[in-house]
Every structure is written in structure tokens, then in C-alpha cells.
Structure 1
């Protein structure tokens, strides 16, 4: 994707600050003063630099996440458009007995529909029919968002630079194809310690989670990193996100897809753990 030139010094400085926040287990001040509150190109340049560093350290990309698709979440964060981030293999904690709270700084949970692709979305027209055909199956998912920015004091550039405030994710085992359900018709209820704390629907995600997938397919291709077969796409929150301090038990019910659960370990983040 062709962008106007960005301030490479500011991008490098912002990337170093966010990397240090993760390494040291301490959130940092917003990076928007370095990048400009509305300079999305610079923010994605920071995200790409942090991704490059992770790949150099041996990380493996397994998909993408779409953020800020729900009007409720946009209101929570004071932004008005979607964004995307990169999912790495070590972010998938579906197989763990507990979500490792020690890896997180200030986590919140969102219930989402995750799509797993069976075709690349790299070339040609990305029509609605082609987007649907590229989906192998869908599962209920929990995205555990996190922010390296202190107190979640974020603008759009802050969250984009910070890998769209990605943290960890949990995928349910029950799979459905798009012949078996319509994502836009789903309803969602999210419980924290058996108390209903968030509700929403498929229509809350850009009108249809498949619209979000289409937006991501186009945008990722423009950035030169198109979606590929086998990748997981977290399509965006179906309702407001909720805090998940250590010890929290989360359960989401998404109609047709069923339940997805997560228990957060009692141990909170520390600098020593983050450096381990």
C-alpha cells in the first residue's frame, strides 16, 4: 500500500517504547504525541516494525484480528473506524487450563466469531460470494485484548501501533460452516463469574461479521500481507468488552456456535514474568 512518507524516527521511537512496555511488564504513556493522533499510516508502520521484530525472534503468524467493529466498543475507546492486528501462534491459549494472567497488563475480554479460512484472499475481486467461499468454518471465540498504553488512554493511532491492542485468544471446539448458520443473525451473552456483563449480536459487528472479514481482506491486501488459507480471523466484538482481572471466569454464549470459556489465573503480571 502506498502511503505518504512517515517520520521514521518517530516510528522507531514508538516501537521501542511499546516493545519495552511488553518486555518490562509496565504500560507506557500514549504514543500519539510521537505519531500524531490521526496519522494511521505512521501507526501501522509501528505495528509492522513490531511484527518484524517478533518474526525475527521466531514468532509465527497464524492470522489477524479486526478491532473496533462494534459501535459500543468504538464509544468506549472514542474512535470511529475499524483497525486490524496480527495474531501470533503463542497468543492462542485455547489448549491451556487457564489464561496466564501473568502475560497480561490490563486485560479485557470480548466475545467474537472466529473464521478459519480455506482459501487465500490475495488476488482478484473480493466479492461477498468469494469472501463466504473462503471460509472453512467458524467457532465461538474470546479475544483477550490488552493495552501497553497506561490506563487504556488510547486514540486510534495508539491502538493501531500497539497491534490493535491484541493480547491472547481462546477458540471453542464446536465448528459450523456458513451453510449451517448466518453470522449476522447470532446473539451473544457474556458472563463474568456467572454475572451477565455484556450482550450483543452479529449485526453489531459492522452489520455482519462477514462485512468485517471483507474489510480486512481488502485492507490486508492493500498492505501487502493478504489473508491466507489456514489463517484464523477474529472478526470483532459482538458487544462491549469487560475487564478480566486475575481470578475472573468468563463464559460467552453465541447462538448456534455455542459456548466458549476462559478462567484467568490468579497470578498477575510482573516485570520478572514479562522478562522471562
Structure 2
């Protein structure tokens, strides 16, 4: 049974999605809750919003990110069809502040039945159809910054949008343990990172997720997309931005962000075709 506190938090997060108003700091509940509770709230919010799972995002894949939230493993959020757009994409800034991360997104080509777990990295690679350059755009629905790990997970691990770009060239044979990645912002210094920030190799992050889901009786399925984790850290954005996630010779993804009242271009829905 979900506690009264968690029921109230679920209602507040659902309301924030519906009204585009953040959960007010005055409504922050003093009661403590743990990571398991955070995932329970995340799941209940998902159900109440009537969302279909089209993929996942993995967060906190680097040692500094995990240290900041006092954890030793990544976290997971869920993505719906409207959250997946094709690069180059033009989107509205929206009501909640945006943050950008350059990531490798993996297109799942075959189901991962929980009964077949545990999955090795070779098992996982055999079930992946493709890898793409991508830009994840994250949002917090809270009106405070010192978010706890459980609160972060309850807010779907800050999942918002994933702009999926070019298929990465020769990604199966590429050395993704240390491939350089650059997030370019027009008018700002480049943010430089590496695929090493994603559990040492983004393919390792997908293996972790496949086994994490199997332990919960859930699974990755063909056609889903997984954002494997940030190669460049978390970059706060303004209302007007031009972003490029540059994976060098491997590929790129692009996003333009504009104010709501001036953005008319929209974003093309992602399809794997």
C-alpha cells in the first residue's frame, strides 16, 4: 500500500504535468522516503497519465553524478512516444527549465524476456538494432533545487524529451570506452565529454538496464529506444538555444529551442523506419 505521503506526492507530480506549474516548495513533504518509494511514485504517475512505454532513460551513470546523490548505481526513467522526436528538431522551451545531455540512444531490435536473464553484454548487443547520436532534454517538475535521490526518481528521473539523430557509424566495432563527445551551444563554449562517463561504455549501461528490468519482472522490447546516459554532464539551457551533440566521425544530433510563442516548427515524431 502506498503511504499517504507518497499518494500526495503522486498527485502533486501529476498536477505539475497537467498545469505546467512546478510543485511549490511549500508543498514539499517533510516525511522521508526511499528509492523504492520513488520508483513506486514514478510508476503511479505514469499510470495516472495514461502513458505507453516507448523506451527508457538511464541517469547517474558517472561516478561524480552518483556521488552527488549518494548512490552507487544508475537510475531509470520511462519515455513515451511523444517524448521521442527526430533530429533535427525544433521544440518550445516550455514552462519548466531545460537541461541538455549528449547521449547515445540504442534502438532495441528484439525482446529481452525476463526468464532469459541474467543477460551478458554479448546477449544485449545481439538484441540491439542500432545506436544513434541523441540529445536528451531533461526537466524538473519541482520548485526547489536540492532534490533528493528518491524525489528525482519520483519525477521520472527528470525525463522530458529525446531527440534522436544519425545512426552512429560502425558503433559495434567502435571503441566506446573513451570516444570524445562535444555538446555545442551557439553563443557558448563547447561542453566536452566522453562515452567513458556512461559506466565506462554506453553498451554496458544497456546491459545494466536489461538486468535491472528483469529483476523487476519487466523487460526491454523490440522497437523501444533507450537513452544510455550523459556523456557531457548536465547543461542548463535558456529559452533560445541551438544545440549539436557531436560524436565526431560517429554522427550528430541537433535541437533548436525557442520561446513558446515563437516556436511554430514543431518536432517530427521519431520512427525507426
| TM-score, with structure 2 as normaliser | 0.86
**Which of residues 73, 91, 95 in structure 2 aligns to 1:81?**
73
- 1:1-276 maps to which residues of 2 (within 5 A)? 7-28=2-23, 29=25, 33-36=30-33, 39-55=34-50, 59-74=51-66, 80-94=72-86, 97-102=89-94, 104-122=95-113, 123-124=115-116, 125-176=118-169, 178-267=171-260
Shift of 1:170: 0.3
Aligned-partner Cα distance in 2 for 1:161–1:154: 10
8 Å CA contact 1:93, 1:99 repeated in 2: no
8 Å CA contact 2:133, 2:164 repeated in 1: yes
Aligned-partner Cα distance in 2 for 1:230–1:116: 6
Unpaired runs of at least 5, structure 1: 1-5, 269-276
Aligned-partner Cα distance in 2 for 1:32–1:141: 35
CA change 1:255–1:121 in 2 (3 A) is: farther
Aligned-partner Cα distance in 2 for 1:13–1:47: 13
8 Å CA contact 2:99, 2:139 repeated in 1: yes
8 Å CA contact 1:132, 1:178 repeated in 2: no
Output one character per residue of 1:25-52: Cα deviation in whole Å (capped at 9) or x when no partner: 222238573442xx11111000110111
Shift of 1:183: 2.7
Aligned-partner Cα distance in 2 for 1:33–1:190: 37
CA change 1:51–1:61 in 2 (3 A) is: same
CA change 1:153–1:239 in 2 (3 A) is: same
Shift of 1:70: 2.2
Aligned-partner Cα distance in 1 for 2:127–2:150: 30
Shift of 1:249: 1.3
SS in 2 for 1:215: helix
The structure whose residues are more often helix, as a share, is 1
SS in 1 for 2:177: helix
- Quote the residue 1:273 is aligned against: none
RMSD: 2.2
Shift of 1:257: 2.5
Unpaired runs of at least 5, structure 2: 262-273
Aligned-partner Cα distance in 2 for 1:154–1:79: 14
